[in-house]
Amino acid sequence: MVTIPAQWPGLPVTICDNRHVSEFEVSDNPDRHRYELRIDDRIVSIADYDITSDGVVVVPHVETDPELRGQGMADRLMRGMLDDLRAHDRRIAPLCGFAAAYIRNHPADSDLLA
C-alpha cells in the first residue's frame, strides 16, 4: 500500500496494491490546466499544460506521486492524454523531457507533435 504525500490533493489516501493497477482513468481538468491519472478517484499523476492561441497543447511538466514512480503511472497518463488530444484534433508541444521521450518511444504518436 502507498500513502500519497501531502502535495497531492485530497490527502491522505491509500492506493495501489502490489504494484498491480487494473482500473484507472485519465481525464482533462481544464480548470486546473492539466490531465490527471486517477486510481480509485485519487490523483496519482498529472501533466500540466497551457494552450497556445492556435490550439497547441504545451506540456511543460509531468509528475507522478514519488511513491508510485517506476510503476508506469506516467506512461498511462501520457497514453490517455495523447488519445484524448487525437480524439479532439489537437497537437502537442512536449517541453517536459518525459513527455518528449514518451512520444519519441511511440512513433505512431509523432503526428500529434506541433
Q: Note the pLDDT of residue 53.
A: 96
Question: What confidence tier does 108 reach under pLDDT thresholds 50, 70, 90?
Answer: very high
Q: What is the pLDDT of residues 57-102, one digit of tens each?
A: 999 999 999 888 888 899 999 999 999 999 999 999 999 999 999 9
Q: Please report, for the domain that includes residue 92, its CATH number.
A: 3.40.630.30
The parent domain of residue 64 ranges over: 2-108
41 pLDDT higher than 70: yes
Listed in order, strand segments (DSSP E) in the chain are: 2-3, 14-15, 25-29, 34-39, 42-51, 57-64, 92-94
The domain tally of the chain equals 1
d(C-alpha 90, C-alpha 65), whole Å:
27
Residue 19 inside a domain? The answer is yes
Please indicate, yes or no, if residue 114 is contained in any of the structural domains.
Answer: no
Does residue 113 lie within any of the structural domains? no
Whether 44 maps to a domain, the answer reads yes
Contact by Cβ (8 Å): 68, 44: yes
Summary mean pLDDT of the chain: 84
Distance between CA atoms of 61 and 81, rounded to whole angstroms?
13
